Structure 1
Amino acid sequence: MLTEVVAHRGASADLAEHTLAAYQLALEQGATGLECDVRLTRDGELVCVHDRRVDRTSTGRGVVSVMTLSELDELRWGDEDKPGVLRLESLLELLTPGVRLFVETKHPVRYGGLVEAKLVALLARHSLARPANKEESPIVVMSFSQQAVRRVQRHAPQLPTVMLSGTRLAPRIGDYAGPSIERLRADPTYVERAGRPVYCWTVDEPEDVLLCKRLGVRFVATNKPAATLEVLRGTVPESEPSR
């Protein structure tokens, strides 16, 4: 099975993460998957922000969960021409046949399981919560929280899930295993032993891309979709330094 490229927070090595422009560029570069992180605002809206605070990625300061959507919309995010935080609903509009969106729910958070409940409700409104089968689902839900993955399985059993993990062993739940690239470097037998397809994050170096390809990793999450695709297609020598 071919290794598929998932744009981690968009083409985030080229443009500011979690901006519409970064995701549009990733699709132009040939990514067949998009990855985002979601958090809840104080007024219950799902927005695409990785950090607990807005300080690193916007012109503001503060904690996402205590800010309203309108307050987040007053800020500039990355290099965007206009103020406004990226809503998950806006990202759903980019989906076309053959493109998957991998949604990571962040934990621990102020609102706990409400994040997954709101996510499933939004997907249901867009007729995305009940795919015909998991393999063809345009949405995959992920988390580092075992409880979050189980909540998604309970609320929307037809949605595929990923149990993300770092360098330690993770509970054997989810339709896909989600190890870090550090884990695969240290334990190349992981993929064979996983017993299910593997989603690996975050894979930017050519040698790591080739490692994933050799091991049979199904999805690689990368900040560099274009460069990663070049390596997978064999158009970049293995010894070429990363860009």
Structure 2
Amino acid sequence: FNVSISDEIPLDRDIPDTRPPGCLAKSYTIPDGIKVSVIIIFHNEALTTLLRTVHSVLYRSPANILEEVILVDDLSTFADLGEVLSIYVSSLDPRVRILRNTQRQGLVRSRLTGADNATGDILIWLDAHIECNTGWLEPLVHELARNNQTIVQPHVDVIDSNTIDFYAYPGDMFRGGFGWDLRYSWFHLPKYLSQSFTSVTDPFPTPVLVGCAIAARKDHFDSTGRFDDGLNIWGGEHFDLSFR
């Protein structure tokens, strides 16, 4: 990301609501008492990019659902990710806390550290350089409450790495897949699937999860074997969980 431009943009900036009209009109049933833990891993992330992620979670999530935001520092060396970040977070919101690894663990084991310390019924792992849009959380919680044996992901928009502009992913709906080299790729929905929709708001199956945003019931995540703690640094965890 272009850090100099990111540093000039408000941490709580407005972004366009990219939901289709059907989503705007839809209401979601959320069971009483269900709580969400959002887990964000960072290693030498630009401070403003990280904080914009946190702000978007706090300000675009229903307060009665969001239990906590757990930041896991995977041994960052940037000075402003130490005391500066700790001081900022301490005055931001009591639901936000920082866990700091004493050794470099990589993304996957750091995500497991976050899960081990989470108290919510639902775990959502987010990358440290995303922004949650209006209404992002309710559909995920609704689907997990309806079917606690599933793992879900949101629709993913785009943040331009140079301009930091936020815009909707152009074109038709896509889902994740992979080639024989195990590289993640986006694929158009097959006709048999898109033609089966009763509404554009219907969830649909995807062979592989996107790595930047994964949501699961904590009990189901534990029962499926969790992430493979033998995976190092980053990559592979979304395949691992999808195959399970």
TM-score norm. by structure 2 comes to 0.29
Pick 1 or 2: higher relative contact order, CA cutoff 8 A, min separation 6: 2
TM-score norm. by structure 1 comes to 0.30
